[in-house]
Amino acid sequence: MASPSLLLLGAGNMGGALLRAWLGKGAIAAAKSAVVDPNPSIPVLELCEAHGVAVNPAEDPGYDVCVLAVKPQMFASVLPTLDWPRIAETLFLSIAAGTTIETIGHLLAERAPGARVVRTMPSLPASVGRGVTLLCEGGRLRGGDRDVATALMAAAGETYWCRDEDHLDRVMGVTGCSPAYVFLLAEALTDAALAQGVGPADARRIAEASVTGAAAMLAQDGRPAAALRRSVTSPGGTTQAALSVLDDETEGLRPRVNAAVEAAYARARELAS
């Protein structure tokens, strides 16, 4: 399929980030696409205006793809109201945490019986083309649907097809949630700089530059994270002393990150029920 016409339902943090990636890469047919959101932000309005994307159109001409980017709690009230010509032919991509393909199918059943639904879990760095999106499907896709979904999400960064929904729920704590862990690290380093007597503006500047510098090196160097970590850590030096705290076997970062990913999985299960 050439770039699909697309309806984005919900242009908040994540929907807006994806829209920016798609328009930047020409991944959607902008003039045939639309955004529906009760309060679109100014950056979203400017983006739509620049690319000729309709915002809250009075009439829907119909769309090849509809991306469901509202909060999971909104699905039950919003999905049954969706309607446009040939809606039963539209491919649906959900980005919501938890909500299952079966639930989405039920909510669309009146107007789009047997809807083809792909569940995805993108991540916020999609806004700079550096996201990671997990995808999975429920067995109803037609030939070409998988390629359409992959191409859309590849415009926002890396993609990975999970074997099923449970797998997606398990891995999302590694991808969709993890930008927050990295931002938290930047916050913690800023706090640590403050605690060592650095002024607030400089504390933020040197902490954030430390995180983005390490991330840029990880992206460009080619060596795996473990090798880069070893190259910072002089035997018997200061980093080794620091890592003896941060990389403690039972209370350090690795078991805590594992526990965080498990907590995200548990919450995804709750949102699904």
Ligand X SMILES: NC(=O)C1=CN([C@@H]2O[C@H](COP(=O)(O)OP(=O)(O)OC[C@H]3O[C@@H](n4cnc5c(N)ncnc54)[C@H](OP(=O)(O)O)[C@@H]3O)[C@@H](O)[C@H]2O)C=CC1
Ligand Y SMILES: O=C(O)[C@@H]1CCC=N1
Report the alpha-carbon angle 17-19-24, nearest 5: 100
Mark the segment that binds ligand X (CB under 6 A) among 20-28, 65-73, 195-203, 261-269: 65-73
54 binds, among ligand X, ligand Y, none (CB under 5 to 8 A by kind): none
What is the closest distance, in whole angstroms, from the C-beta atom of residue 16 to ligand X in the complex?
A: 7
Of 28, 70, 148, 261, which lies in the binding site for ligand X, with binding defined by CB under 6 A? 70
74 binds, among ligand Y, ligand X, none (CB under 5 to 8 A by kind): ligand X
**Distance between terminal CA atoms of the chain?**
35
Residues that contact ligand X, how many (by CB under 6 A):
25
96 binds ligand X (CB under 6 A): yes
Of 118, 148, 176, 189, which lies in the binding site for ligand Y, with binding defined by CB under 6 A? 176
157 binds ligand Y (CB under 6 A): no
What is the closest distance, in whole angstroms, from the C-beta atom of residue 29 to ligand X in the complex?
A: 20
What is the closest distance, in whole angstroms, from the C-beta atom of residue 200 to ligand Y in the complex?
A: 28
What is the closest distance, in whole angstroms, from the C-beta atom of residue 41 to ligand X in the complex?
A: 7
Mark the segment that binds ligand X (CB under 6 A) among 12-20, 108-116, 242-250, 260-268: 12-20
Does 10 show up as a binding residue in the annotation?
yes
173 binds ligand X (CB under 6 A): no
Nearer to ligand X, 70 or 193 (CB): 70
Nearer to ligand Y, 161 or 265 (CB): 265
CA 176 to each of CA 76, 97, 122, 185: distance values in angstroms, whole numbers, following the listed order: 23, 9, 6, 16
Residues of the shown chain interacting with ligand X in the complex, contacts defined by CB under 6 A: 9-15, 36-39, 69-72, 74, 78, 95-97, 121-124, 176
Give the annotated binding-site residues for NADP(+): 9-14, 69-72
Binding site per annotation, positions: 9-14, 69-72
